[in-house]
A and B are shown apart, each in its own frame.
Chain A
Amino acid sequence: MMDLEVNSFFKRTFSYKLLFISPFLKYIIMSKKNLKEYWNHNLRYLGILLFVWFISSFGAAILFKDALNSIKIGGFKLGFWFAQQGSIYVFCILIFVYVYLMNKLDKAYDVNED
């Protein structure tokens, strides 16, 4: 009889509940605030990368093409080169930079998948 009473008393205490949730404490503490920070950090990366995306294609190859064309590298006028080759190289590099940055970020905020 006594054991039952002690048991039910124990069950209602905070420390008993703590026993069950302790494996999950990590996630509870990883609060909404942290996830918000993670997302903001993500957005910041996107901003920078998309800026480079814009500048190397719409900037260099279209808006500033005439100015850049006065520079020649080998047989290439620079504006023309960005339009037909260079922007594509930049795009490739951008995606892999993004992959690298995001893998690091995911680990730092403990949201990575493995």
Chain B
Amino acid sequence: MWTYIIVGLTFALYIGIAIWSRAGSTKEFYVAGGDVSPLANGMATAADWMSAASFISMAGIISFSGYDGAVYLMGWTGGYVLLALLLAPYLRKFGKFTVPDFIGDRYYSNTARTVAVICSLIISFTYVAGQMRGVGVVFSRFLEVSIELGVVIGMIIVLFYAVLGGMKGITYTQVAQFCVLIFAYMVPAIFISLALTGNAIPQIGFGGKLSDGSGMYLLDKLDGLTQELGFTAYTEGSKSMIDVFAITFALMVGTAGLPHVIVRFFTVPKVKDARKSAGYALLFISILYTTAPAVAAFARINMINTVSNKEYASMPEWFKKWETTKLIKFEDKNGDGTIQYVKDPATNELTIDNDIMVLANPEIAGLPNWVIALVAAGGLAAALSTAAGLLLVISTSISHDLLKKQFRPNISDKNELLAARITASLAVIVAGYFGINPPGFVAAVVALAFGLAAASFFPAIILGIFSKRMNMQGAVSGIVVGITLMIYYILKFKFGVFDGGKAAIDGLKSSWWFGISPEGFGTVAMLANFAIALLVSRFTPAPPDYVQQIVEDIRIPRGAGEPISH
């Protein structure tokens, strides 16, 4: 009951903001009028960034991988340093509306622009399918509606504020969504930290002593427990060092290359605001990201204490409830009525889905219903905010980068705005369709999205800013090589396409290049892009003088005007 009230209230808030922030021009639709304050922009970026995956799945993944989970923690935050130092200020000075805008103008080529548009679309569509799915899942778990209906409701809400307000509507709803999601994440975390370690601050409780009388440090106890059950110690990991390195690097660089993140820095008034806004964004993101590993550890220890070697019949109510959703599965392999939760797949009787760790945490900790309702609202806020940001990139790619810049350069501002609205609506519908019928490989495809961003956009933009000599031929060849390598690697090692399908994947692990997984391969593809781009540009003519002048100009903050499109 609480869930309907709280979720309903948050939705009413988003719709209210949407009406207040109607977009009246393409400038408002694409870059929110260019006058969002760095603080508000930081919050909006944080909400845009933290998707359903960050909110629901990440703590669960860390819970089960221990130290290895750090690839996500570092990978999804470290990229912001790269954004702040290497990209945001210069792109803001450049003053255009989108990433393909920059690529197309800097490399004086509509081919480059179109390649950038295609990459943008692939990255954004794959990402958004996952979000709409997340919306459906939260609805079905908490509001007892079918996943399909949940996705449709989500679509209608997003449609409303994205189509009405464009970037302006999205930015301010994201500010509200950030407040909802961070509150929803922290409340259970604080309660559980207090209960387990006597410290209300999860980041400190994480390193604290258990308050169960044993006087042991939580992490030591967890290490012991996991090892007893045959898992690797929680604070060690099982991935190879080079893979951890590669995945972390690929995620950081991929973050800095994602179009829907980059475009957030076009909405502030000045270059120095772009830098500050990146700082605020990371600050707000860090609130969740430093809490998540604590939540992960708490959840793991709670789970083990609750189920390991205990009688199945004595399991608490939340266990039975989540069993009906199939997120927990128990198979009494040795018929002794107690739960063996161990690493060895032959004797292990309990299968737990990652997502439980956050969704069920409040119930495991015995928190009141309104907290549980808050978690639902928070999960929805996270998914909707990210979905909106992605949908906007999709719509601007088509209405601005294709229509205005290439096929219909004389289209009026009013008509461009209309086109943007229409494509946004269509994009919502397509995304909704994928939310209802997700390709089975959504998570794998999101890994591809990061790898693609790392292999295509990041090098092209970096070289475009820091090297006057980088020309069209270099940039385009680099992008093509990067993308090709990335797609090949994912098809081969993630989908087994060349070796007989999914069954072959495990066997292929020994032939990973340099021992790097598909998730980490973006690093290799990025390096290939840099190498080829630099090589090819050596043997081809330098860019025209006016382009070199642009590069010099974007290095100087003064004179950053309003974002201009034409």
**Cβ B86 vs Cβ A84 within 8 A:** no
With a cutoff of 8 Å between Cβ atoms, the chain A residues found around residue B206 in the complex are: 75-76, 85
With a cutoff of 8 Å between Cβ atoms, the chain A residues found around residue B279 in the complex are: 92, 95-96, 98-99
Q: How far is the CA of A61 from the CA of B244 in the complex (A)?
A: 10
**Cβ A49 vs Cβ B85 within 8 A:** yes
With a cutoff of 8 Å between Cβ atoms, the chain B residues found around residue A71 in the complex are: none
Which chain B residue shows the least CB distance to A75? B217
With a cutoff of 8 Å between Cβ atoms, the chain B residues found around residue A88 in the complex are: 73-74, 77, 286, 289-290
With a cutoff of 8 Å between Cβ atoms, the chain A residues found around residue B218 in the complex are: 75
**Cβ B282 vs Cβ A103 within 8 A:** no
With a cutoff of 8 Å between Cβ atoms, the chain B residues found around residue A53 in the complex are: 78, 81
Q: Is B249 an interface residue (CB 8 A)?
A: yes
**Cβ A98 vs Cβ B275 within 8 A:** yes
**Cβ B235 vs Cβ A102 within 8 A:** no
Q: Is A89 an interface residue (CB 8 A)?
A: yes
For chain B, residues 372 to 386, give those with C-beta under 8 angstroms from any C-beta of chain A: none
Q: Is B389 an interface residue (CB 8 A)?
A: no
For chain B, residues 257 to 310, give those with C-beta under 8 angstroms from any C-beta of chain A: 270-272, 275-276, 278-279, 282-283, 286, 289-290, 293
**Cβ A99 vs Cβ B276 within 8 A:** yes
| CB < 8 Å A-B pair total | 128
Q: How far is the CA of A80 from the CA of B208 in the complex (A)?
A: 14
**Cβ A92 vs Cβ B248 within 8 A:** no
Q: Is A35 an interface residue (CB 8 A)?
A: yes
Map CB proximity to B onto A92-114 as digits: 1 under 8 Å, 0 otherwise. Answer: 10111011001100100001111
Q: Is B245 an interface residue (CB 8 A)?
A: yes
**Cβ B219 vs Cβ A76 within 8 A:** yes
Q: Is B555 an interface residue (CB 8 A)?
A: yes
**Cβ A57 vs Cβ B290 within 8 A:** no
Q: Is B367 an interface residue (CB 8 A)?
A: no
Partner of A75, one of B70, B208, B248, B560: B208
With contact pairs A74-B217, A96-B279 given, residues A91 and B81 touching in the complex (Cβ less than 8 Å): yes
Which chain A residue shows the least CB distance to B249? A58
CB distance from A57 to the nearest CB of B (A): 5
**Cβ A84 vs Cβ B78 within 8 A:** no
**Cβ A95 vs Cβ B235 within 8 A:** no
Q: How far is the CA of A111 from the CA of B554 in the complex (A)?
A: 12
Q: How far is the CA of A81 from the CA of B235 in the complex (A)?
A: 9
Which chain A residue shows the least CB distance to B66? A80
Map CB proximity to B onto A44-76 as digits: 1 under 8 Å, 0 otherwise. Answer: 001001100100011001110100010001111
Q: How far is the CA of A99 from the CA of B42 in the complex (A)?
A: 14
Q: Is B16 an interface residue (CB 8 A)?
A: no
With a cutoff of 8 Å between Cβ atoms, the chain B residues found around residue A58 in the complex are: 245, 248-249
Q: Which A-B residue pairs are the 3 nearest by beta carbons?
A: A75-B217, A83-B70, A95-B279
Residue numbers of B with Cβ under 8 A of A are 62, 67, 69-70, 73-74, 77-78, 80-81, 84-86, 89, 203, 206-209, 217-220, 235, 241, 244-245, 248-249, 270-272, 275-276, 278-279, 282-283, 286, 289-290, 293, 552, 555-560
